Structure 1
Amino acid sequence: MFNQILVFVILFVGVYSFKFPASIQQCKFGDTDCLRDVMTNVIQTQTSGNEEFALMPLDPLKLDKLSILQNQNSPVSIRLSLFNVTLTGIKDIVITKVVGFEEIPMKSKFEVTGKTKRLTIFGKYILSGKILFLPVTGNGNANFTFENVNIDIKVIPQTEMRDGKEYAPIKNVIVKFSTTKFTPHFTNLLVKNEGISNSLNALMQDNSYELFKELKVPIENAVSEVVRTVLSGPFGKFAYRDLFLP
């Protein structure tokens, strides 16, 4: 009987205990300089992901779907769905500032600021609505390029107890996103005015600053969901204290 209990305990520990990967440096609670450097290192060296850390591949980052929706009263009023999405350029992100990550998660801030020279999103798309007040529809390939990107991330966790340990799974992520140049391109983009149809991509690129201002919030919402997906792996797998040095 004792042997059976011992085997059960060993199996239980083996299944429910996760060893922090040696390939990723740990920091002390609130050591924001250490966290800044480690986050940059993870982004730039773990591009293929890290199964031990529950980190999905980062660059290229693959998503099944990404949606961008803008309201009907805007000059850009669209319903855009991207499928088989690929994001590139994440490996070049540099984290410049970290705030919080203290010992008690519900009393701590979780804020990260970063920058990169270029991010690209491309995939298959379905679009309907208006762009610069022109009625458009489309179904084909889409490519969005962002240059000189600054990104501010605020993570909102929740806490839950599992096997006597406190976890801090991600509840929400808020992203603020800026770029000096936004270049959109769509194939098979149809406009009721055929004379404008062929030059619409050029028109959007000529008015990219105004276009980005109109799409900024829905793009931020889409990027927030991407960040939440990435962070949910490590924060869901490891107890909060186990993410840091004792």
Structure 2
Amino acid sequence: MKCFVEIYLKITLLCLTWKSLICALQIPSDIEKCHFGDGKCIAKSTNQFIRRYAKGDAKIGLPPFDNIQVDDITLINSPGPLWISYTLKNQVLKGFENATIISLSGLDREPEQNKLEVKLKIPSLAMHGNYELRGRGIIVYTNSSGSTKSDMQNVRITITIKGFIEYRNKKRYLKVYDMAPIFELDRWILSADNLFKENTDLTVLLNRVINEKWIEFWNEIESTILPVYTRSFVNLINKFAQAIPYDDMFLPD
């Protein structure tokens, strides 16, 4: 009898798991579907999706995107007699839940034959986490860590997406393998605490200098930080695109 109960429970669990997987392969019923290539409709539908499902939905297998985990980033690494290393760790990117799609093109029946491009704007794209600072200069030495916050304000992003269609179980799925983002922003605010443990004034001064000269600093780190963001975006999009067949995202012709 005990063996029968165990088998019954395993079968029931398997059935429930299979049911959840089937549910995870469906577009939410409250999201409008569009025809292939209808960029205006797709942009509108995507904005609906962002507003309603920023926190994800475990019932249908949608991951949240209001807190995006970002890989560690070494912003500065200048070895030598006078050296400095500055690394961001345990970073979380916030703000995509407030994104608005301006235009979206290339999602036709055969997307790999077109240029996939998305233009969007975000009022504030913030990154919170920790930092590690190591440095040695003529009169200054530091070995510190602490919390850091970064806020990119009024961000405009144009993303060119590279992807292809792959087949699984006679279904077509979109696989994104690369993105090329172009960032424009009105302001970048960066703060880091405890940069110099024994000199609070120096910490305040360095934060002030960075924020007064933010354009110069942003131009220096943009080529380092964007590839890390891009990997996070690719992983996020693929979680969705690889779960739902491409053709199921659109209305039949």
| TM bracket, shorter-chain basis | 0.7 to 0.9
Q: Mark the runs of 5 or more structure 1 residues left unpaired by the alignment.
A: 1-10
Deviation at 1:126, TM superposition (A): 2.3
Which position in structure 2 is the counterpart of 1:154?
A: 160
Structure with larger Rg: 2
- Distance in 2 (CA, whole Å) between partners of 1:80 and 1:202 is 19
* SS state at 1:36 partner: helix
1:32 aligns with 2:65: no
Q: Secondary structure at the match of 1:219?
A: helix
**Contact 1:112 1:153 (8 Å CA) reproduced:** yes
How big is each residue's C-alpha offset from its partner over 1:152-190, in whole Å with a ceiling of 9 and x where there is no partner? 112211332211122222211221112111011111213
In the superposition, the TM-score normalised over structure 2's length comes to 0.78
Change (3 A) 1:78 1:156: farther
How far the C-alpha of 1:37 sits from its partner, in A, is 0.9
Are 2:194 and 2:203, in contact at CA under 8 Å, matched by a contact in 1?
A: no
Work out the number of aligned pairs and report it. Answer: 230
Distance 1:80 1:210 in 2: 19
* Structure 2 gap segments, 5+ residues each: 1-14
Instruction: Report the identity percentage.
Output: 22
Residues 121, 186 of structure 1: alpha-carbon distance in 2 compared, 3 angstrom cutoff: same
CA shift, 1:70, in A, is 5.1
Show the counterpart of 2:7. none
Quickly say closer, same or farther: Cα 1:200–1:238, change in 2 above 3 A. same
Q: Select the residue among 82, 96, 119 that pairs with 1:113.
A: 119
Q: Kindly indicate whether residue 216 of structure 2 is the aligned counterpart of residue 214 of structure 1.
A: no
Q: Does 1:185 align with 2:178?
A: no
Q: 1:225 to 1:239 in 2, by over 3 A?
A: same
Corresponding residue number in structure 1 for 2:4: none
Aligned position for 1:227: 233
Structure 1 counterpart of 2:207, from 179, 189, 201: 201
> Partners in 2 of 1:240 and 1:129 — Cα distance?
50
- Taking structure 1 as reference, are residues 25 and 127 closer, same or farther at Cα in structure 2, changes over 3 Å only? farther
